[in-house]
Amino acid sequence: GESVGLHLPTLSVQEGDNSIINCAYSNSASDYFIWYKQESGKGPQFIIDIRSNMDKRQGQRVTVLLNKTVKHLSLQIAATQPGDSAVYFCAEKVNDMRFGAGTRLTVKP
Amino acid sequence: GAGVSQSPRYKVAKRGQDVALRCDPISGHVSLFWYQQALGQGPEFLTYFQNEAQLDKSGLPSDRFFAERPEGSVSTLKIQRTQQEDSAVYLCASSWDRGYEQYFGPGTRLTVT
């Protein structure tokens, strides 16, 4: 079936570096995408979203890029901080939210 | 303001027992969702309510799973005759409407022994 997935299960970066987390999706009907951050013992927390009529959206230190041609979504975190260490999920919405398996980001001081 | 709350935070059940998990959504949120999150996996959709109406229960894994939201606010997810494969974190989320950002609670970690 169609699903959301991630290229890498883990990512380790040095504090201050930029991080890029990738996500592939296969449902061409998806019209809304969200990146969530989940810290240990907590529920997912909204980071940034993007609709399918956009290619790029920027927030505070975060940017989401959407490439509909290759069905690829990425989350860029600028100047990564130790507090950014968490599992990051991309999610796509057609009728309901479908989550990928997640990428664990570890920030080394 | 208060976010989504869930109780209990942790639940240990013997196989075969029934459990009830509670979700208090953000006040005024019309939509309420339940998800199941296995260890190391992303949340999997279980069911969706709009006010008191359960509009989608396509994700419920078996007829042992039952959810309700009788007054359109608090919701309860009930699992009957728990099995070991039911062990997971159960997340509740609410939003103004189905197409809007969902706010998640901290989850209930269910362990079936």
Give the three-state DSSP class for A24: strand
Cβ of B34: how many Cβ atoms within 10 Å?
26
Bridge partner list, A66: A73
Whether residues B42 and A32 touch (CB distance < 8 A) is answered with: no
Whether residues B56 and A96 touch (CB distance < 8 A) is answered with: yes
Closest CA to A35 of A54, A48, A19: A48
What pLDDT sits at residue B1? 54
Q: Residue A43: its chain B contacts at CB < 8 A? A: 4, 91, 93, 104-107
Question: What share of chain A has pLDDT > 90, as a percent?
Answer: 71
Q: Is residue A57's pLDDT more than 90?
A: yes
Whether residues B102 and A41 touch (CB distance < 8 A) is answered with: no
List C-alpha distances in Å: A46 to A89, A95, B60.
10, 18, 24
Q: Are strands A45-51 and A32-38 parallel, antiparallel or unpaired?
A: antiparallel
Write down all domains in chain A, each with its CATH number in brackets: 4-108 (2.60.40.10)
Report how many Cβ contacts below 8 Å link chain A to chain B. 48
Write down all domains in chain B, each with its CATH number in brackets: 5-112 (2.60.40.10)
Q: How confident is the model at residue A6 (pLDDT cuts 50, 70, 90)?
A: very low
Q: Is residue A7's pLDDT more than 50?
A: no
What pLDDT sits at residue A9? 82
Q: Is residue A2's pLDDT more than 60?
A: no
What pLDDT sits at residue A51? 93
Residue A85 corresponds to which tokens in the numbers above?
């260490």
Identify the segments of chain B with pLDDT beneath 70.
1
Residues with Cβ within 8 Å of residue A88, at least 6 apart in sequence = A21, A35, A36, A37, A38, A47, A75, A102, A103, A104, A105
Closest CA to B22 of B80, B83, B69: B69
Q: Is residue A72's pLDDT more than 90?
A: yes
DSSP, residue by residue, B13-61: E-TT--EEEEEE--TT--EEEEEEE-TTS--EEEEEEETTEEEE-TT--
Q: How confident is the model at residue A46 (pLDDT cuts 50, 70, 90)?
A: very high
